[in-house]
Amino acid sequence: MLEATKTRHARFITFEGGEGVGKSTQVKRLVANLNRVAIEAVRTREPGGTPKAEAIRSFILQGRSESWGAGAEAVLFAAARHDHVTQLIAPNLAAGTWVICDRFHDSTRAYQGLTGGVDDKLIDGLETLALDGHAPDLTIVLDMDPEAAFRRVAQRAVEDGLALTGDRFEKEDIEWHKRLRQAFLSIARNNGERCIVISAEQAENELEAAIWAVVCERFPELLSGSQA
Ligand SMILES: Nc1ncnc2c1ncn2[C@@H]1O[C@H](COP(=O)(O)OP(=O)(O)O)[C@@H](O)[C@H]1O
Ligand SMILES: Cc1cn([C@H]2C[C@H](O)[C@@H](COP(=O)(O)OP(=O)(O)O)O2)c(=O)[nH]c1=O
């Protein structure tokens, strides 16, 4: 394998979609594929990615089942995101390292905004604050029927001998998850330049190949060898 190197124009790619659609799996695979063509890339996630943002993550998602309310959650996710952007994402991009992130700002718009009922203008303002000018270059929205995604997660848990626990959001009912799916599709429609929707109802290897094809098409410098 070639040694991964930094590039002049490092890219920022985010993965979005509902629960269990395969985002984490594909984030890992994309980083490995970038390394394979000698691109240095860092994998990160939201909420989280830095110590402060991870602290906010456990605060919101673990331990207690009751909600803060969608508005307060939007503020907390934005605070975590601002730290993540300024401490991890922006410095890596500036140093020439690609950043691949499991969920980002579209999750706030989908969960707290479109599904949670927080006003668009408030979401816009929090987004401006949190992103600090660092919007993703490409967002891959993995789309599938939430019932099929839950069957997948349940089957894997049985195979691995694990109990299905679930965080606050995973405990919402199926109709809520169907609305969430539509929220991500509508965000993708409204941001057609940045977002691409890919069906997640395919085997891991096929999905990986579909994502790699999209990334190479969007950033042709990857295969031309002119990225250094
Ligand atoms: N394409 C796929 N087909 C079948 N199972 C998958 C696929 N991608 C991921 N999985 C399995 O589904 C579960 C959820 O995948 P994960 O990547 O954690 O999703 P997410 O990050 O979107 O919640 C895991 O058990 C994973 O091994
Ligand atoms: C980043 C972000 C996540 N979330 C939610 C989505 C998930 O339910 C949860 C993150 O949990 P996580 O386990 O990382 O996601 P997944 O289930 O996709 O593997 O936080 C928001 O509600 N708003 C946000 O801005």
Say what the pLDDT of residue 225 is.
66
Residue 65 or 56, more confident: 56
Answer whether 57 contacts ligand 1 (Cβ < 6 A): no
pLDDT in tens, 152-207: 888 877 777 766 666 545 666 899 999 999 999 999 999 999 999 999 999 999 99
pLDDT in tens, 130-141: 999 999 999 999
Taking the whole predicted model, whether its pTM rises above 0.90 is answered as yes
Task: Say which ligand is closest to the CA of 158.
Answer: 1
Q: Where are the domains of the chain?
A: 12-224
Residue 5 or 9, more confident: 9
Binding-site residues, please?
17-24
Fold classification of 12-224 is Rossmann fold (3.40.50)
pLDDT in tens, 13-23: 999 999 999 99
* ipTM reported for the complex, 2 dp: 0.97
Which residue's CA is the closest to the ligand 1 atom numbered 16?
Answer: 22
Query: How confident is residue 1, by pLDDT bands cut at 50, 70 and 90?
Result: low
Tell me, letter by letter, the H, E, C secondary structure of the chain.
CCCCECCCCCCEEEEEECCCCCHHHHHHHHHHHHHHCCECEEEEECCCCCHHHHHHHHHHHCCCCCCCCHHHHHHHHHHHHHHHHHHHHHHHHHCCCEEEEECCHHHHHHHHHHHCCCCHHHHHHHHHHHHCCCCCCEEEEEECCHHHHHHHHHHHHHHCCCCCCCCCCCCCCHHHHHHHHHHHHHHHHHCCCCEEEEECCCCHHHHHHHHHHHHHHHCCHHHHCCCC
Q: Please say if the pLDDT value at position 63 is more than 70.
A: no
Say what the pLDDT of residue 67 is.
76
Query: How confident is residue 68, by pLDDT bands cut at 50, 70 and 90?
Result: confident
Q: Ligand 2 — pocket residues by CB below 6 A?
A: 19, 23-24, 45-47, 61, 77, 103, 107-108, 111-112, 167, 169
pLDDT in tens, 83-117: 999 999 999 999 999 999 999 999 999 999 999 99
% of the chain with per-residue pLDDT over 90: 76
- Which residue of 103, 168, 172, 177 sits with most ligand 2 atoms within 8 Å of its CB, as the best mutation to test the pocket? 103
